[in-house]
Amino acid sequence: MAEELNERSQNILEAIVEDYIASAEPVGSRAISRRHGFNLSPASVRNVMSDLEEMGFLCSPHTSAGRIPTEKGYHYYIDSLLQVRDLSQEEESQLRKNYRFKGMKMEDIMQEVGRVMSGLSNYTGLVMAPKFASTVFRQIEFVRLSHGRLLVIYVSETGLVQNKVIEVDADLEQRDLEQISNYLNHELNGMSILAVREKIARELKSERARYDKLQKRALRISSAALQDEAEELLFVSGTSLMLEQPEFSTPEQMRRIIQTFESKKILIDLLDRSQNAQGVQIFIGSQNQDCQIEGCSLITSKFSSQKGAVGTLGVIGPVRMDYSQVIPIVDFTAQLVSRILEREVE
C-alpha cells in the first residue's frame, strides 16, 4: 500500500471492517468506542475515521454518520491486518466429516465439494473440474446413434466422464466400434490427452496406418473425438445464498447475479486465472474486471494431481465477506481434493 497507517488507525480500520462484515450496517464512532475497548473517546475515534476516509480506506454511504470500508480498505485489511490461521486437527477432522465421497463418481464429488463449501461459508461454492486437455486417458467407448453419427464416452483416470456426438464418414456397425474402442483403450491408456493427440497425428502419417484398416479407422475417429476442447464443467452450489445478502436485494442486482451464475462464462474465466498461481487467490470487487459481478469477492485455490490434471475451486460472496472464515475452508478443501485425485489415479 502507498500509505502507512499507524497502530491506532490500523486498529480502527480493522474494527470497522470486521463490524461491517458482521452487520452489513455502517459503523459509527460510538459503536467502535463501546465495542472494542480501545480506551478512546468517540470524538477521537471519529477523527481517525475522518482521516481514513480522506485516505480512501473508508466512505460514508448516504447521510449516515457511520462508515463502511472501500475496496482499498478491504485490500489493506487483507494484506496487512487479516491473520489467517491454520485449521486445527479437530477442525480438519470435522471438515472431512462433511465430505462424504465414498463410492461417488468424480462429477458427484465435484458437486459435493461445492455444496459443502457453500454450506460452511454461507456463500456460493464453485468447482471447475480439470480441463479436458489436462486429463489422463483411461477409456473411450463409442455408441452408434444413426448413419454417420456416434456418441463418444470418454473417461479420465480421475473418473471424469465427457460425452460428445461426432460425425464420421463411414457407416460403422456397433461391433466395429467395439473393436476400435478395444484398440484405443489398449494403445492410449495412461496418456494425457495432449500426448494422445500427438500420438494420433504421428500414427496417421505412418506407413503402418495405410495398410491397417482397423487402425486407420480408429485413429481417424479418435482424432475427431478428442480434438476439440470439451465444454468445461463448472459446478455452482448455493446461488440462493448470494440473493439473501443485503448487497444484492434489489430486483436489478438479483437479475445480474442470476444471469452471471447461469451463463457461467465469467466465473470460468475468473477460475481460469487462478490455475497458474500457487495457494489461495483473492479477487476483490473491481479486480474481477466485469460489472456483472461488481460488489463481489472471489476466493479460489487450484487442486491438482501429479499426472497434470488441474481444476479450481472457490467461494464467491459479497465484498463484505468473512475472509478469515472462508480462506482456510478453500485452502483445506483444495488440498483434500488433490489428495482424492491422487488416490483415484493410483
- 3-state helix vs strand vs coil in the chain, percent to 5: 55, 20, 30
**Whether the Cβ atoms of residue 163 and residue 107 lie closer than 8 Å to each other:** no
Give the separation between CA 69 and CA 60, rounded to whole angstroms: 9
Query: Which one has a higher pLDDT value, 14 or 215?
Result: 14
The pLDDT assigned to 82 comes to: 92
The pLDDT assigned to 343 comes to: 66
Average of per-residue pLDDT across 294-311: 83
pLDDT in tens, 11-52: 999 999 999 999 989 999 988 988 887 888 889 999 999 999
Q: Which domains does the chain have, with CATH numbers?
A: 7-81 (1.10.10.10), 89-131+232-345 (3.30.450.40), 133-227 (3.30.390.60)
Strands 137-146 and 234-237: unpaired
Give the separation between CA 242 and CA 312, rounded to whole angstroms: 20
Q: Is residue 1 very low, low, confident or very high in pLDDT (cuts 50, 70, 90)?
A: very low
Q: Look over the chain and give the mean of its residue pLDDT values, rounded to a whole number.
A: 84
Distances (CA, A) of 132 to 57, 156, 194, 231, 268: 43, 9, 9, 8, 14
The pLDDT assigned to 123 comes to: 94
Q: Which amino acid is at 298?
A: L
Q: Check the CA dihedral 210-213-219-220 and report its sign.
A: positive
Average of per-residue pLDDT across 329-339: 91
Give the separation between CA 260 and CA 324, rounded to whole angstroms: 26
pLDDT in tens, 161-210: 888 888 887 677 888 888 889 988 988 888 888 788 888 888 777 766 56
**Whether the Cβ atoms of residue 58 and residue 5 lie closer than 8 Å to each other:** no
Is the pLDDT reported for residue 326 higher than 90? Answer: yes
pTM (predicted TM-score) = 0.79
The pLDDT assigned to 207 comes to: 62
The three three-digit cell numbers of residue 84, written as one number: 489467517
The pLDDT assigned to 55 comes to: 95
pLDDT in tens, 255-283: 888 888 887 888 888 888 877 778 899 98
Is the pLDDT reported for residue 338 higher than 70? Answer: yes
Q: How does DSSP assign 20-75, residue by residue?
A: HHHH-S-B-HHHHHHHH-----HHHHHHHHHHHHHTTSEE--TT-SSBEE-HHHHH
Give the separation between CA 330 and CA 5, rounded to whole angstroms: 30
Is the pLDDT reported for residue 309 higher than 90? Answer: no
pLDDT in tens, 228-259: 555 668 999 998 998 888 888 888 888 888 88
Average of per-residue pLDDT across 56-71: 86
